[in-house]
Chain A
Amino acid sequence: MRNTPPNPRVVVIQDVVRRFDDGAAAVDGFSLEVAQGEILALLGPSGSGKTTVLRLVAGFERPDAGAIWIAGRQVAGGGVWIPPEARGVGMVFQDYALFPHLTVAENVAFGLRCLLAIDRGPRTQEVLSLVGMEGFAVRYPHELSGGQQQRVALARAMAPRPFAVLLDEPFSNLDADLRGQLREEVRAILKATGTSAIFVTHDQEEALLLGDRVAVINHGRLEQVGTPEGIFHAPQTRFVAAFFGRADFLPAAATSHGLLTEAGLVAQRMAPANGEPIAEQVEILVRPDDVEIEPSADGQGTVVARLFVGSEIIYRVQLPSGRVVHSRQPHTAGVMQGDRVAVRIAPGHSLVCFKDGRAVPTPRPPSDGEGSADGMISRRTMVSGDG
């Protein structure tokens, strides 16, 4: 399902620039496309410009340069300006923005002005039952819980059958249990109705779980866009790598034998340039499941923290240079804080290498043939839990 080839593009954002009042760029040459029926997660830290991108698409802000198309029609850029009410997109706000003086049904029916009066009721009922809120039609927003308000906001956005639904941090106001449950429900609803959606989040787990594709944005620029697996396994920049999960970076020298780090040699060669392997300094991305530790009195690492998270234990290990790597061990592991350990990097797949913050192209898989595919599958399992 996730990797279906893109159908007609619903939203096209091209080289859009949006400046703050002081001239600094909030969104800086941003381009993105969303396919019909696709859920795109726009992921970035706070202040990265992700919400601005959403508001540009919705029409609440005007781009200073670039152009935006929705359903094949240009809505902004090149002298064209279509106001938000004529764009045919639905928006779900972080605080839901339900109209406090209208009932749930009236909120949902708000955008149904084009329908005949006789058709409004059934459509309202239809979307309300879609989100499981059919019994709450006559309630007022303040009588609903956060999760219920969220559902109503989604129903209201979907009622007029918009070309796309835009969701701004839709789950950030909910507590953890509810968030997990609603994420799945919202994804199921969007998929069942074939609704295209862009949703903004700063939570990488949420982006991986919900998005058919994930676009990572930082400082108003697109860092990388791709499938959740693709981005996780092949981050193109150090920023993206650091943003997904726990990530440590170790300097390594690329030699003909492999990557030489202070935690030993990793049997992985760099892609040969001009037929010869080049010896150069890179940084390798090391995740906790890539690092093995073993108690050893003369080991090169010291355990500086032992984080027991129930199903597993994360060890924080300091290397001679003072750098720190994390290692994931079974919850039965007995190494304690302060112990000396031997550190070995044993990824079972090729590691991503960075030079000057960008990924070095196509590292060749290790020649001893450890199946990298297995590694990928197990990683996918670890991250999303739905593998």
Chain B
Amino acid sequence: MVFLIARALAGGQTTLAVLLAPRTLHLLLSTLALAAAASALSLALGAALAFVVERTDLPRKGFWRVALALPLAIPPYIGAIVYLDLLSRGGLLDRVAGIALPPTGLAGAACVVGLFTYPYSFLLTSAALRRINRSLEEVARTTGLGPLRIFWTVTLPLIRPAIGAGIFFPSLYALSDFGTMVLLRYDTLATELFYQLTALFDRSAAAALGAAAIALTLGFLWLEARLRGRGRHYQTDASWRPPAPLRLGRRRAAALALVGGVAGLALAVPAGALAAWALQGAFYPSPAEQMWMSSAASPWRAAWESLSISGVAATVIVALALPLAYLRTRFPGAEAWAIWVMGQTGYALPGIVVVLGVAFLTNTVAPWLYGTLVVMVGAFMVRYMSQALRAVESGLSQVPPRLGEAARGLGERPAGVFRRIEMPLLRSSLVAGWALVFLNVLKDLPVNLLLRPAGFDTLPVRTWLSATDGIYTQAALPGLLLIVCAAVPLVLLLRGEAAQRLEIT
């Protein structure tokens, strides 16, 4: 990040020219507009679904909890591919009903981003709602407030941190996700950066735009911190009881339609469409597809490559996160904190900016590393270290230092304490952190696409390249494989108690 800003400053005149160009202002505004629209949709969907699932007598809650969170396995660019093909002129809807609703422009982009990022606010709000002790709302009742007033004055402030985060994630996507926006032909800072990097090779301009993106990210971070507030008002003591569920009664059909509709649009439709196209592509390939197939490696190999890079990256990152988290929780000091902050911003920064920074850095420091897996893993580390750190730290915070002291009092050396006490207790957190990083590396487009060694075409790359070439049926199989591969660690995360501790998936 520092490197990028320095590079932008070194650009001098060019930087200034790029930043002041009317085009930049236009991009900035379009990015903000998308962030606002997508966050609003995502938050509305997520919060409403969370309320329906957690606070009403909706049947089959366990199923809906998983089904409504599963769209996390679908990266928005794959969602964009599906809906582009279904809704565009000549798409399924056009052929069946004669209507074409191409999801392009601000509205389309906001809908796609909102539809595939709502699980963040859904999960966060659900977790927050589950944590609220019934007694808090009951106390409010006894002071004579009505249910609606209680929602505004008690429940809402208590879930405010979740709402803050729920706005944060769609905003990050709006800012960073060039894949979706390129497909949906909506210009943002990220798409411009992507064009600069891949087509125009204007690195000074890219650096300047990158700096603008960083500034915007910091703005979002600040906003999220504001909304999160100072409170960590979590009720987890023994007297906790869940609030009484709201009886749906005749509203049950409407509630079911809501959860079913969202799950259908965000999960069933994309998965079904991809499966159908994959079959179609396999059995009735068009001439263009035959050409494509012959020139590209098999999607199964791409799946293998995706799984291995994700596995390697997740393992390396968690292995490094463990000592860092240990350092930070047990010996809090300035250095550890600095490392942590850097890890945090790496996560919030748009992936393409990270790619840019890593590319600049390797080209200056160690050019011979460029285009190797090492650089890829390094970039993944910058992006996802914070998630691994958070997972391990939340695990460590469940292991009070007193346990280690008790063990030492019983004659165990520090190494033995780690092996016999801390490792067993940390295991579930390590697995959760690993699964989280694995999932994100698997879905990641910018690093996979822009930093890959020649011929290392992972699933996101295959999906993306086919889609940008306009051969959606060929994007289907790798896309489907990607979703299936991502769903496995995701279900693992959702099932585990770790999901509640992590707060974020």
A91 to B410, CA, bound (A): 8
Q: Which residues of A contact B409 (CB under 8 A)?
A: 58-59, 84-85, 87, 89-91, 111, 157, 166
On whether A110 and B400 interact (CB within 8 A), knowing A99-B421, A100-B425, the answer reads no
A-B contact pairs, 19 of them (CB 8 A): A58-B405, A59-B409, A83-B413, A85-B410, A88-B411, A89-B409, A90-B409, A97-B406, A98-B406, A99-B421, A101-B424, A101-B425, A110-B407, A110-B410, A110-B420, A111-B412, A114-B411, A156-B410, A160-B410
Given contacts A58-B409, A85-B413, A97-B406, 20 further A-B contacts (CB under 8 A): A59-B408, A83-B413, A84-B405, A84-B408, A84-B409, A85-B409, A85-B410, A87-B409, A89-B409, A91-B406, A93-B406, A97-B400, A97-B402, A98-B406, A99-B421, A101-B424, A110-B407, A113-B412, A157-B410, A160-B410
> How far does the Cβ of A52 sit from chain B's closest Cβ, in whole Å?
13
A110 to B420, CA, bound (A): 9
Residue A223 interfacial (CB < 8 Å)? no
Contact between B403 and A97, CB atoms less than 8 A apart: yes
Contact between B402 and A111, CB atoms less than 8 A apart: no
Contact between A99 and B412, CB atoms less than 8 A apart: no
Q: Which residues of A contact B408 (CB under 8 A)?
A: 59-60, 83-85
A101 to B421, CA, bound (A): 8
Q: Which residues of B contact A99 (CB under 8 A)?
A: 403, 406-407, 421
Question: Which of B402, B408, B409, B424: most chain A CB closer than 10 A?
Answer: B409
Q: Which residues of B contact A290 (CB under 8 A)?
A: none
Contact between A111 and B410, CB atoms less than 8 A apart: yes
Contact between B402 and A160, CB atoms less than 8 A apart: no
A157 to B408, CA, bound (A): 11
For B407-439 the 0/1 string (1 means CB < 8 A from A) is 111111100000011001100000000000000
Residue A262 interfacial (CB < 8 Å)? no
Q: Which residues of B contact A80 (CB under 8 A)?
A: none
Residue A86 interfacial (CB < 8 Å)? yes
Residue A339 interfacial (CB < 8 Å)? no
A69 to B411, CA, bound (A): 17
A51 to B402, CA, bound (A): 13
Contact between A90 and B402, CB atoms less than 8 A apart: no
> How far does the Cβ of A261 sit from chain B's closest Cβ, in whole Å?
49
Q: Which residues of A contact B407 (CB under 8 A)?
A: 99, 110
Residue A95 interfacial (CB < 8 Å)? yes
> How far does the Cβ of B231 sit from chain A's closest Cβ, in whole Å?
25
A60 to B403, CA, bound (A): 12
A114 to B, closest residue via Cβ: B411
A interface majority secondary structure: loop
Q: Which residues of B contact A160 (CB under 8 A)?
A: 410-411
Question: Which of B405, B411, B412, B413: most chain A CB closer than 10 A?
Answer: B411
Top 10 A-B residue pairs of the complex, sorted by shortest distance between their CB atoms: A111-B410, A91-B409, A97-B406, A84-B408, A97-B402, A85-B408, A101-B424, A85-B411, A97-B403, A93-B402
Q: Which residues of B contact A111 (CB under 8 A)?
A: 409-412
A98 to B405, CA, bound (A): 11
B417 to A, closest residue via Cβ: A85
Q: Which residues of B contact A101 (CB under 8 A)?
A: 424-425
Q: Looking at chain B, what size class is its interface with the partner chain?
A: 10 to 19
For A49-77 the 0/1 string (1 means CB < 8 A from B) is 00000000011100000000000000000
> How far does the Cβ of B185 sit from chain A's closest Cβ, in whole Å?
54
A172 to B410, CA, bound (A): 23
Contact between B410 and A90, CB atoms less than 8 A apart: yes
A176 to B442, CA, bound (A): 56
Q: Which residues of A contact B406 (CB under 8 A)?
A: 91, 93, 97-99, 156
8 Å CB contacts to B: which residues of A91-107? Answer: 91, 93, 95, 97-101
> How far does the Cβ of A88 sit from chain B's closest Cβ, in whole Å?
8
Q: Name the contact of A113 in the complex, choosing from B403, B411, B424 (C-beta under 8 A).
A: B411
A156 to B406, CA, bound (A): 9
A166 to B406, CA, bound (A): 11
For B437-472 the 0/1 string (1 means CB < 8 A from A) is 000000000000000000000000000000000000
8 Å CB contacts to B: which residues of A327-378? Answer: none
> How far does the Cβ of B468 sit from chain A's closest Cβ, in whole Å?
50
Q: Which residues of A contact B405 (CB under 8 A)?
A: 58, 60, 84, 91, 93, 97
A368 to B407, CA, bound (A): 61
Contact between B413 and A95, CB atoms less than 8 A apart: no
A93 to B406, CA, bound (A): 8
8 Å CB contacts to A: which residues of B65-105? Answer: none
Q: Name the contact of B412 in the complex, choosing from A95, A98, A110 (C-beta under 8 A).
A: A110
Q: Which residues of B contact A60 (CB under 8 A)?
A: 405, 408
> How far does the Cβ of A200 sit from chain B's closest Cβ, in whole Å?
14
A88 to B408, CA, bound (A): 10
8 Å CB contacts to B: which residues of A137-171? Answer: 156-157, 160, 166
8 Å CB contacts to B: which residues of A170-212? Answer: none
A93 to B411, CA, bound (A): 16
> How far does the Cβ of B481 sit from chain A's closest Cβ, in whole Å?
37
A196 to B431, CA, bound (A): 44
A289 to B456, CA, bound (A): 89
Q: Which residues of B contact A90 (CB under 8 A)?
A: 409-410
Q: Which residues of B contact A114 (CB under 8 A)?
A: 411
Q: Which residues of B contact A93 (CB under 8 A)?
A: 402, 405-406
A252 to B92, CA, bound (A): 102
Contact between B411 and A95, CB atoms less than 8 A apart: no
B402 to A, closest residue via Cβ: A97
A157 to B407, CA, bound (A): 10
> How far does the Cβ of A12 sit from chain B's closest Cβ, in whole Å?
19
> How far does the Cβ of B333 sit from chain A's closest Cβ, in whole Å?
12
> How far does the Cβ of A318 sit from chain B's closest Cβ, in whole Å?
38
A209 to B406, CA, bound (A): 26
A99 to B412, CA, bound (A): 13
Q: Which residues of A contact B400 (CB under 8 A)?
A: 95, 97
Q: Which residues of B contact A89 (CB under 8 A)?
A: 409
Q: Which residues of B contact A58 (CB under 8 A)?
A: 405, 409
For A34-58 the 0/1 string (1 means CB < 8 A from B) is 0000000000000000000000001
Q: Which residues of B contact A156 (CB under 8 A)?
A: 406, 410
For A99-138 the 0/1 string (1 means CB < 8 A from B) is 1110000000011011000000000000000000000000
A101 to B, closest residue via Cβ: B424
Q: Which residues of A contact B421 (CB under 8 A)?
A: 99
A95 to B405, CA, bound (A): 12
8 Å CB contacts to A: which residues of B388-402? Answer: 400, 402
> How far does the Cβ of A311 sit from chain B's closest Cβ, in whole Å?
32
A93 to B, closest residue via Cβ: B402
A157 to B425, CA, bound (A): 21
A217 to B193, CA, bound (A): 67
Q: Which residues of B contact A97 (CB under 8 A)?
A: 400, 402-403, 405-406
B404 to A, closest residue via Cβ: A97
B425 to A, closest residue via Cβ: A101
Q: Which residues of A contact B403 (CB under 8 A)?
A: 97, 99
> How far does the Cβ of B402 sit from chain A's closest Cβ, in whole Å?
4
A58 to B, closest residue via Cβ: B409
A95 to B, closest residue via Cβ: B402
A87 to B, closest residue via Cβ: B409
Q: Which residues of A contact B425 (CB under 8 A)?
A: 100-101
> How far does the Cβ of B240 sit from chain A's closest Cβ, in whole Å?
15
B424 to A, closest residue via Cβ: A101
Q: Which residues of A contact B410 (CB under 8 A)?
A: 85, 90, 110-111, 156-157, 160
B423 to A, closest residue via Cβ: A101
